[in-house]
Structure 1
Amino acid sequence: MKRRDFLAAGTLAMATAMVSPQLFAATEDKPLQILALVFDDYETLDLHGPVEMLGHMKNVQIKLVGDKSIIRSYQGPKVVTDISMDSVTPCDLFIVPGGLGTRKLVEDEELMAWLRKQVSVSGKVFSICTGSALLAKAGILDGVNATTNKMAYQWVTGLAGQVNWQPSARWVDDGKFLTSSGVSAGTDAALFYVSQLRGEVEARRIERLTEYHWNHDAKNDPYAVS
C-alpha cells in the first residue's frame, strides 16, 4: 500500500488507538523498539546524538523510517531507511529530529496525517530541535508543555498557539512527550530518557562510555529566550 493510499484509507485500528507507554516495554526476550523519522535536510546531530546514547542501552532495536530508501542529511551524509511510511509501526519511542527540512514539511498534509497515526501507536514521542514544529503543526502538541530550538523559537511557536511553549528549558518531559531544544540538547534529553527508563546509573555509564559531558539539568538552558 502506498503512503497516499494508507493515509486516505485510515482503516488500521492500531493507527487510531491510544497506546500505553508501557505496552511495548522491553523484556528479556523482546528489545525496546525505537523508531526515528528521517527526511531530506534533517539535522545530523539531532538524530545521531540521541541514537548514540540510546543505542548503548542493552536490548534495544533502533530503526529509521522515511518516505524513500535513501535520505540525505543537511550536512550531506546519507542514511538508509529500514521502514517505509506506507503504514505505521508500533514502538516504545518515536524520535522526530529537526533541521531545515522541517521548513517545507510543515506544509506537507500527508506527513501531518501520518504523524498523527504514528504517534497514536508510539509509547513515547521524543522531538529534537525543530522536530517539535512538525508535531505542533499536526496538532499533536496541543495542550502539551513543550520546547524547541531557541534560535528558531519565534517560527516554531508561531505555528501552533495551543502548545504550552517553554522559552527556558533544555528539554521538557510531559508524560508521553519529550521535547528538547536545539541540536545538542537532544543528546542531553536522550540521556534523561535513559535515566527515566533504566535509572541514572545507566545514564552515567553511557555518559562515561561516550566521554560526553551531560547537562542533566533541564532548567539549565544557556540559550533561553528572554
Structure 2
Amino acid sequence: MSQTRPQNIGIVLFDGFELLDVFGPAEVLANTPGLEVNYLSKHDSPVSSAQGVRIVPTMRFESFSGDTLLVPGGRGTRSLVQDPEFLRQLTALASSADIIASVCTGSALLAAAGLLENHTATTNKNAFDWVRTHGQKIEWKKQARWVHDGNLWTSSGVAAGIDMAVAFITHFFGEETASSVTNHIELIVNNNPNNDPFSV
C-alpha cells in the first residue's frame, strides 16, 4: 500500500468517449471512502458518449486541481489525437496531477500529448497497432490487462479499466478497502495484470 493516497480524481470527457471506460472505473473509485470523482470537460454543456448517452460534466478543465487524471478511450480519440488544442489542454491537466491514468485508447491521447515518453504502457488490443503510431520512446506491452509504471497507469480495452481501478485502489488504499469495494458492487476481478486472454 502506498503512503500517499489520492483524494480527487478527474475523469476527462469528450464527445465519442467509451461509456464503460468512464463508468466502469468510476463505479470502483466513487465507492472508495476518501475519494472524490469529478467529470471534466472543456465546456459546461453535455458530452455525448459513443453509445449516445449524454453526460453533464461537473467541472471545466481549467477548474480542476485534483491529484489524479483519468483519460478514457472511445471513437472520439481518433480525431482528438490530431487536435493540438485538446492535446495542449490535456498536457496542462496532466501537469497539475500527481497520477495519470488511461483506459483503452485513452493511451493514444496520452501518447500524442507526449505524456507516455520513456514509460511502458498498454492499450486496447483491437486498436493496438493504431495506438502505437502515436508518441515516441514508449514501450508498448501487448500482453497486459493493465500496466503500472511510476505515476502512470494504463489499461487494455474497455472493461480492463475496471480491473485497473481495483488495482489502483489496492495499491493506494490496501487490499481490505479494495475487497470491500468489490464485494459492495459484486465484482469478480482479475488481480493479475499479466492475465490477459485478449492479447492472443
TM-score, with structure 2 as normaliser: 0.94
Return 5+ residue gaps in structure 1 as ranges.
Answer: 1-20, 27-31
Match for 1:71 among 47, 50, 57?
Answer: 47
Aligned to 1:167: 142
Letter in 2 for 1:146: A
Aligned to 2:60: 84
Alignment of 1:146-185 (within 5 A): 146-185=121-160
Contact 1:116 1:138 in 2 (8 A): yes
Aligned to 1:105: 80
Match for 1:55 among 12, 26, 30?
Answer: 30
Alignment of 1:210-221 (within 5 A): 210-221=185-196
Letter in 2 for 1:210: I
Match for 2:161 among 182, 186, 198?
Answer: 186
Contact 1:124 1:176 in 2 (8 A): yes
Q: What is the alpha-carbon distance in structure 2 between the residues aligned to residue 160 and residue 223 of structure 1?
A: 24
Cα deviation, 1:34-71, whole Å, max 9, x if unaligned, reads 10100011000000000000111112211111122210
Cα deviation, 1:48-102, whole Å, max 9, x if unaligned, reads 00000011111221111112221011111111111223x2622121110000000
SS at match of 1:57: coil
Structure 1 residue ranges (4+ consecutive) displaced by more than 6 angstroms after TM superposition: none
SS at match of 2:70: strand
CA RMSD of aligned residues (A): 1.4
Q: What is the alpha-carbon distance in structure 1 between the residues aligned to residue 34 and residue 144 of structure 2?
A: 30
Match for 2:71 among 89, 96, 104?
Answer: 96
Letter in 2 for 1:191: V
Contact 1:88 1:114 in 2 (8 A): no
Contact 2:125 2:157 in 1 (8 A): yes
Distance change in 2, residues 1:132/1:88 (3 Å): farther
Report the Cα offset of residue 114 of structure 1.
Answer: 1.2
SS at match of 2:123: coil
Q: What is the alpha-carbon distance in structure 1 between the residues aligned to residue 35 and residue 147 of structure 2?
A: 23
Aligned to 2:176: 201
Contact 1:45 1:184 in 2 (8 A): yes
SS at match of 1:116: helix
Return 5+ residue gaps in structure 2 as ranges.
Answer: none
Aligned to 2:97: 122
Percent of pairs identical after alignment? Answer: 38
SS at match of 2:87: helix
